[in-house]
Structures are given as structure tokens and as C-alpha cells.
Amino acid sequence: MKKFCTVLLLLTVFSFTASAENFTAWNLNDRINPQLKEYFTAAPEMTITPENLQELRKSFIPESLPKDDAVEVHDEIIGSNLRVRVYTPKTDAKELPALLWIHGGGHIFGIPEVDEGLCIRIAKEIGCIIANPDYRLAPEHPYPADVEDCYAALKWLAENPRVRKDRIAVAGGSAGGGLTVAVTLVARDKKYPVIHFQMPLYPQLDYRNITPSSNQITDHRCWCKDFNILAWKLYLANVSGDVPSYASPAMAEDLSGLPPAYIMVGTLDPFRDEDMTYAQRLMEAGVPVELHVIAGGTHAFEGVYPESPLSVKTVNEYVNALKEALK
């Protein structure tokens, strides 16, 4: 019954968004989830330009990092110069499940430490080893730099002698969600390693910005149309001709043979429609999918407004889904 309801929700929303009138910009103040409204209405407008990227990147550096005695955290340098943040639960178990966690930031900013608390929680609660790569960013390093880095980190993780080869997952939010799908496609095509589960959260999948939601969300207090167009422009600067599916996974023609997926996105996210399309196409390809569409949720709301009860509930749900998949 749960899977049926998920599919029914998907088809209902697709019918709604098919109307051309929904391409007009929305007033998010009237649509925001009540549990987020207090935080969203107080949020300042953001500005993202090529000129202020360096300053924005500094804002992603936490002043302090959470710690937990139950989880060892350290950095590894792999390949030529790729830093990977590693989270290992302190346990006597000989083999552990593993997770490649990929941070977000539109391919243009972000560092592993942004998700430090979440990674520590996952490593502790699930008892899994996590590798969180500090992948190269555009515009200095456009596609395919970050895909190559994330796949290199995935292979490194799979070769860890303590990792269960049948329990490797890939997850991340926003651009990290898009990279989750891209790396999962790469692993399928290269036949290594075998990915057991994918969890792309509000993934950035489609460079074209042609969906209703990618045009409806224009409010600069959250990730929106303007920011998305700029990010894709910087990321695809070296791509000429057809955009590869590893760069923009919405372009992938064949989704068969991919691992089961858990996907979450808010109705006020510019990625809403492309994420639901991905979920639907996975279903059509015979891939098990659990899709969560959060009413009145903005992009990455659970990370931006972690104090909200809706955010707490949402994180608990996807951590539990990951725990169930990796047991």
C-alpha cells in the first residue's frame, strides 16, 4: 500500500504541474509550510554571482565542528590531491556497511564539513563507514572534475578492507544529490563497485530549466531559478554539444539496473519536477523507489532550518531509510 500511495501522489502532482499557467512565479510566503514560515520569512535574500563566489565559500566553513566519542573522524588524501573526510564508528565489528556522502552547493561551493554533524550521526546510528569527498568546484574545475573525484572516492571506499561489498550506498543533497545519481550511473556502467542503495535528496539533475517548478521558484531567500541558471552555466562551461548524462543525469536514457532509491524534495524546490520525473522513470525501469514530496518545503529546508519540527522529522525519516537499507 505504501508504494501504491507514492505512485498515486506522483501522478497527481504531475497532472497538476502540466498546466502552462503554473510556469508563472509563485509567492512563497503564501505557500510555505507553516512549520517553516517563521524561519523563511526572517531569512535575508541571497546574492550569488561569479564575483562573490569566494566570499560565499568562506561562509561554508564552520566556526566549530561537532564531535562524538563514538565516531573517529579524520582526513585521507587519495589520488593526486583529493581530500576525503572519513567517519568510522568505533566498533569491534570486522565488516561494516559503507556510505559515500556527497555535499551540496550547486557544484560551485561547499565543503565536507558542512555536513559533519549529519555524517557523525549516520556513522554512529547505522554503524557505517562514511567517505565524504572534498571534490573540485566550478568554475575553476567544471565538469567532469567533481564526478571524477566522487567516483575516485567511491572506489577508494569500496576497497577499504572493513567495508561490506554488498552494502555500499551513495547519498547527498542538492548538487550532492545530482552527483549521487551521476556516480551511481558511472558505477553501473563500469560495473564497479556494486551500489546497494542510492539516496539523492532534492537532487540537481536537469540543466535545461524547462520545468514548471524551475520557473516558479524565483525567491532569492532560497535556491531559485536565477541561482540555478548561473550554477549550471559555470559547471558546464567546458561542455559543447550534447550535455552528458553524467553531468546532467536527467539526460540519461537508460535507468535500468540502478539500485533502489529514496528521494525527497519539497514542493517549493526548483528541482521538484525533475526529481519526480527521475523517480517516475526509475519506477518505469523496474527500480524500487520511495518518493517523499514535502508540502511547502523549500530547497534543502532541513539543512537551512534544522530547528524546525518538519526538518527534524524529515531527517529522521531519511536516516531511518538509510539504516533500513544498510542493515
Is 299 in the active site?
A: yes
**Beta strands 197-201 and 96-102, pairing class:** unpaired
- Cβ-Cβ contacts under 8 Å for 46 (sequence gap 6 or more): 220, 221, 227
Handedness of CA 199, 153, 50, 39 (dihedral sign): positive
134, 111 Cβ separation under 8 angstroms: yes
Phi, psi dihedral angles at 40 (to 5 degrees) = -70, -45
- Please give the order of strands across the beta sheet that includes 289-298: 71-78, 82-89, 129-133, 96-102, 163-173, 197-201, 261-268, 289-298
Q: How far is CA 302 from CA 30, 173, 181, 246, 264, in A?
A: 19, 10, 20, 27, 11
Q: Of the residues 245, 299, 308, 311, which is catalytic?
A: 299
Which one-letter amino acid corresponds to residue 67?
A: K
DSSP annotation of 203: -
Q: Of the residues 103, 174, 292, 308, which is catalytic?
A: 174
**Beta strands 261-268 and 289-298, pairing class:** parallel
Cα atoms in the Cβ-side hemisphere of radius 13 Å centred on 63: 0
Q: Of the residues 269, 275, 292, 308, which is catalytic?
A: 269
Q: Which three cell numbers stand for residue 105?
A: 552547493
- Cβ-Cβ contacts under 8 Å for 2 (sequence gap 6 or more): 290
Catalytic residue numbers read 174, 269, 299
